[in-house]
Each structure stands twice: as C-alpha cells, then as structure tokens.
Amino acid sequence: MKATIVPIGNSKGIRIPKIILEQCRIEKEVDLEVEDDNIIIKPFKKEPRKDWEDNFRKMEEEKEDRLIIDDQIDLDMKGWEW
C-alpha cells in the first residue's frame, strides 16, 4: 500500500488506515524500530518487569547488587528515639 508523507509541525508522518491499525492491534502507542533501511512499527506491549531477571543477573555479575538500606533496620521502631 502506498502512503503519502505529510508535514506535522516540525516532523513528518503518514496516515495509517483504521483497518490496518485494527489488524495489527495498534491502539494508542507503538514501538518504532529501524532495521537496515526499514521502519518497523509494532504495537506497544506493556510488560511490567519484563527484563528484571536479566538485569538482576547483570547487576550481580558487575557487583552492583549491594543493599542500599541496611536490612537489619528496626522496622518495629522499638529502639528508636523520638
């Protein structure tokens, strides 16, 4: 399908027909990628904590997994002075 590039402020864009958006399950947000000379548009999928396991493993390898707050802190506040 041929599409025309149109000016949008200081940028440019294309109009994507509603039927194509529905077929690709695209609603409000997309992921844009450039591969070689191609623009790839994918529906944005929110995947909370998607890469956490890999990131935690990398932190451990790089010795960046130390605690920021002492885990021996008295959360019951028994020894606290006010």
- The per-residue pLDDT for range 31-73, each reduced to its tens digit, is 999 999 999 999 988 777 888 899 999 999 998 888 777 777 7
Distance in angstroms (rounded) separating the CA atoms of residues 46 and 61: 27
Q: How confident is the model at residue 81 (pLDDT cuts 50, 70, 90)?
A: confident
- What pLDDT sits at residue 23? 94
- The per-residue pLDDT for range 14-34, each reduced to its tens digit, is 999 999 999 999 988 999 999
In this prediction the pTM is 0.50
What residues form DSSP beta bridges with 40? 33
SS3 57: helix
Amino acid in the structure at residue 16: I
